[in-house]
């Protein structure tokens, strides 16, 4: 059966309240698909669906749920069932869950875990959120320096069931310091008597345990790594970050940047689970700020009231010009913010990019000016059409330069360039566009 057919069958079993059929269909689905289904059923079925799964699959499915839902389900699970499931979870997911549990549940769970899990959990939960330490897992594969290939393979064979990945094994000395990395492929193809030290890669890409998680994701992406070793200051290996965790970080960062690009604050939960109050709080601040910004646009129009009264036709082109300035600025800002985020652009590139942006913005402005001038000649005559065309060139250039320059300025001031969002750029471009348009009209039309 396909995934869609299995989901439909599971839905039918839930609708008929057939407990055996529910367990059978849930067991056939991929853990990620079961987690999606659990998030759509009524609350009283969440625990039942989860408990219908074999223990290992239950733990894997639980890891795909949002932390908010994990917290809710954990509070309803019997203590023994929760302990058994948590024991089977990867160490990083276990630490993430532990941080969001209520104090009473956390204490009860902690006392039931084995000593090894308690120590590992205490260590992983101690790292600051947003760092490599908070993201990493301690379930990595390692072999001792000096082993033969045959001995290394035997070590991996014995420890593989408890590890996040065994495709890369980290070679450690007796003090647990990282000496190199060797792939499972290398071990399988090598002569059994060969030494790991002669085969391993010594120039290992690694990150400090306090490094930002964005830097970890960037390193994994840049060097196409399956896992990135995380080190203490003394070069001791304390954990790894796998590529799937890095993908989650990249997705979260992209989402956060998109929210900032629309002047939306950070959501602590998913959009589906967010309350009206949290959505209100995430959006209200910038909207209020931008209201005051738009007041300057109105003030600019009021300042040129005489010009507008003498040539009322000028108002016909104002929305077009102001929108063009904002659109050009938003395009430029999007390119710059993304370039800064990916490392494609740095502050040292400012001069080169400024010259190129002036050239491109000028060409764009002239192209748009030629189009709008044709409309202007037929609509209001040559004199106002010239004002509109010249204004178009200037506002597109000004909007583009604002869009390019503001992310650089924020980056130099140690603020997130994503704050140079489309609404903010548009508001600044609106004010500039109004002043340029009516200022030129006042000068060129002899008012």
Query: Average of pLDDT values for 62-75?
Result: 88
Over the stretch 417-445, which tens digit does the pLDDT of each residue have? 766 567 778 888 888 888 998 888 888 88
Report whether 427 contacts 293 (CB < 8 A): yes
Domain of residue 151 covers 135-243
Q: Where are the beta strands (DSSP E) in 82-163?
A: 140-144
Does 181 map to a domain?
A: yes
User: In this structure, what token pair is assigned to residue 354?
Assistant: 């400024």
Any idea what DSSP says for residue 417?
Answer: G
- pLDDT of 83 > 80? The answer is yes
Query: Average of pLDDT values for 149-161?
Result: 89
Beta bridge partners of 231: 208, 237
- Chain centroid to Cα 177, Å, comes to 32
- pLDDT of 36 > 80? The answer is yes
* pLDDT at residue 152, as a whole number: 92
* pLDDT at residue 237, as a whole number: 93
* pLDDT at residue 427, as a whole number: 83
User: In this structure, what token pair is assigned to residue 322?
Assistant: 């102001």
Burial of 323 (0-12, 13-18, 19+ CB in 10 A): middle
Tokens 């796998």 identify what position? 242
Does 252 map to a domain?
A: no
Same domain assignment for residues 301 and 398:
yes
Over the stretch 254-290, which tens digit does the pLDDT of each residue have? 666 666 655 555 656 665 666 677 766 766 666 677 6
* CATH code of 105's domain: 1.25.60.10
Same domain assignment for residues 74 and 172:
no
Cα–Cα distance measured from residue 166 to residue 184, given in angstroms and rounded to the nearest whole number? 7
Same domain assignment for residues 67 and 103:
yes
- pLDDT of 167 > 70? The answer is yes
Query: Average of pLDDT values for 89-98?
Result: 86
Report whether 99 contacts 128 (CB < 8 A): no
- pLDDT of 113 > 80? The answer is yes
Task: State the total domains in the chain.
Answer: 3
Same domain assignment for residues 141 and 124:
no
For the chain, what percent of residues have pLDDT higher than 90?
21
User: In this structure, what token pair is assigned to residue 187?
Assistant: 């071990």
| Least-confidence region, from 264-268, 340-344, 357-361 | 264-268
Same domain assignment for residues 9 and 99:
yes
Residue (of 54, 50, 72) closest to 62 by Cα position: 50
* pLDDT at residue 306, as a whole number: 85
* CATH code of 430's domain: 1.10.357.20
- Chain centroid to Cα 182, Å, comes to 30
Same domain assignment for residues 409 and 299:
yes
* CATH code of 205's domain: 3.10.580.10
Cα–Cα distance measured from residue 340 to residue 349, given in angstroms and rounded to the nearest whole number? 10
* Side-chain half-sphere CA neighbours of 121 within 13 A: 24
What is the overall mean pLDDT for the chain?
84
Same domain assignment for residues 348 and 440:
yes
Question: Who contacts 327 (Cβ-Cβ below 8 Å, separation ≥6)?
Answer: 399
Q: Where are the beta strands (DSSP E) in 111-152?
A: 140-144
Report whether 376 contacts 409 (CB < 8 A): no
Cα–Cα distance measured from residue 240 to residue 169, given in angstroms and rounded to the nearest whole number? 11
- The model's confidence at residue 398, banded by pLDDT at 50, 70 and 90, is very high
Query: Average of pLDDT values for 211-228?
Result: 89
| Chosen domain end from 243, 267, 287 | 243
Report whether 247 contacts 218 (CB < 8 A): no
Q: Which residue has the higher pLDDT, 370 or 342?
A: 370
Q: Report in angstroms the alpha-carbon separations of 91 from 120, 133, 163.
A: 8, 12, 10
Q: What is the pTM of this model?
A: 0.65
Same domain assignment for residues 338 and 361:
yes
Over the stretch 5-19, which tens digit does the pLDDT of each residue have? 777 777 777 777 777
Tokens 């033969």 identify what position? 148
| Chosen domain end from 102, 131, 160 | 131
* pLDDT at residue 359, as a whole number: 93
| Chosen domain end from 76, 109, 131 | 131
Does 254 map to a domain?
A: no
Same domain assignment for residues 125 and 150:
no
Cα–Cα distance measured from residue 356 to residue 332, given in angstroms and rounded to the nearest whole number? 12
Same domain assignment for residues 26 and 97:
yes
Over the stretch 295-326, which tens digit does the pLDDT of each residue have? 777 787 888 888 888 888 888 888 888 888 88
Same domain assignment for residues 89 and 164:
no
* pLDDT at residue 144, as a whole number: 92
| Least-confidence region, from 93-102, 266-275, 356-365 | 266-275
Does 251 map to a domain?
A: no
- pLDDT of 447 > 60? The answer is no
Over the stretch 168-213, which tens digit does the pLDDT of each residue have? 999 999 989 999 999 999 999 999 999 999 999 999 999 999 999 8
* pLDDT at residue 272, as a whole number: 62
Does 217 map to a domain?
A: yes
Any idea what DSSP says for residue 237?
Answer: E
Does 178 map to a domain?
A: yes
Could you give the strand order of the β-sheet that contains 237-242, starting from the edge strand earlier in sequence? 207-208, 227-231, 237-242
Q: Which residue has the higher pLDDT, 230 or 282?
A: 230
Does 404 map to a domain?
A: yes
Same domain assignment for residues 234 and 334:
no
Q: Which residue has the higher pLDDT, 116 or 262?
A: 116
- Do the bridges between strand 237-242 and strand 227-231 make them parallel or antiparallel, or are there none, so unpaired? antiparallel
Within 126-275, residue ranges assigned H as helices are 132-135, 149-159, 184-189, 196-199, 213-223, 243-261
* Side-chain half-sphere CA neighbours of 365 within 13 A: 25
- The model's confidence at residue 338, banded by pLDDT at 50, 70 and 90, is confident
Determine how many CB atoms are found less than 10 A away from the CB of residue 143: 22
Report whether 410 contacts 416 (CB < 8 A): yes
DSSP per-residue codes, 359-399: HHHHHHHHHHHHHHHHHHHHHH-HHHHHHHHHHHHHHHHHH
* pLDDT at residue 115, as a whole number: 82
- The model's confidence at residue 23, banded by pLDDT at 50, 70 and 90, is confident
Does 30 map to a domain?
A: yes
- The model's confidence at residue 1, banded by pLDDT at 50, 70 and 90, is low
């Amino acid at each position: 059966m396909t995934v869609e057919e299995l989901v439909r069958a599971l839905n039918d079993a839930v609708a008929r309240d057939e407990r055996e059929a529910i367990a059978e269909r849930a067991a056939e689905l991929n853990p990620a698909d079961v987690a999606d289904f659990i998030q759509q059923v009524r609350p009283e079925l969440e625990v039942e669906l989860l408990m219908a799964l074999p223990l290992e699959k239950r733990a894997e499915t639980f890891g795909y749920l949002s932390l908010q839902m994990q917290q809710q389900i954990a509070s309803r699970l019997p203590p023994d069932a929760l302990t058994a499931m948590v024991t089977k979870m990867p160490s990083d997911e276990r630490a993430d869950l532990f941080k969001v549990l209520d104090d009473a549940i956390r204490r009860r769970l902690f006392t039931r875990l084995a000593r090894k899990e308690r120590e590992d959990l205490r260590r992983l939960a101690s790292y600051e959120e947003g760092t490599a330490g908070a993201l990493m897992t301690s379930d990595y594969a390692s072999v001792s320096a000096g082993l033969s290939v045959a001995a290394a393979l035997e070590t991996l064979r014995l420890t593989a069931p408890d590890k996040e990945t065994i495709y890369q094994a980290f070679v450690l000395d007796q003090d647990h310091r990282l000496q190199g990395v060797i792939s499972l492929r290398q071990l399988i193809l090598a002569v059994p008597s060969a030494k790991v030290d002669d085969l391993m890669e010594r120039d290992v890409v690694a990150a400090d345990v306090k490094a930002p998680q964005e830097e970890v994701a960037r390193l994994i992406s840049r060097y196409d790594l399956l896992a990135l070793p995380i080190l203490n200051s003394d070069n001791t290996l304390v954990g790894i970050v796998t590529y799937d965790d890095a993908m989650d970080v990249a997705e979260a960062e992209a989402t956060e940047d998109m929210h900032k690009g629309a002047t939306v604050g950070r959501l602590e939960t998913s959009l589906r689970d967010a309350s009206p109050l949290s959505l209100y709080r995430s959006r209200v601040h910038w909207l209020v700020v931008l209201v005051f910004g738009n007041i300057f646009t109105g003030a600019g129009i009021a300042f040129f009231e005489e010009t507008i009264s003498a040539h009322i036709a000028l108002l016909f082109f104002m929305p077009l010009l102001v929108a063009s300035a904002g659109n050009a600025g938003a395009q430029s800002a999007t390119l710059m913010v993304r370039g800064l985020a990916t490392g494609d652009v740095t502050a040292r590139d400012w001069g080169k990019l400024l010259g190129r942006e002036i050239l491109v913005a000028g060409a764009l402005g002239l192209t748009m000016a030629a189009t709008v001038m044709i409309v202007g000649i037929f609509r209001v005559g040559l004199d106002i059409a010239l004002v509109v065309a010249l204004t178009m060139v200037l506002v597109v250039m000004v909007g583009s330069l604002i869009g390019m320059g503001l992310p650089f300025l924020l980056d130099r001031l140690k603020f997130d360039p994503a704050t140079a969002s489309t609404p903010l750029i548009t508001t600044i471009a609106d004010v500039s566009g109004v002043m340029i348009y009516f200022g030129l009209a006042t000068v060129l039309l002899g008012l």
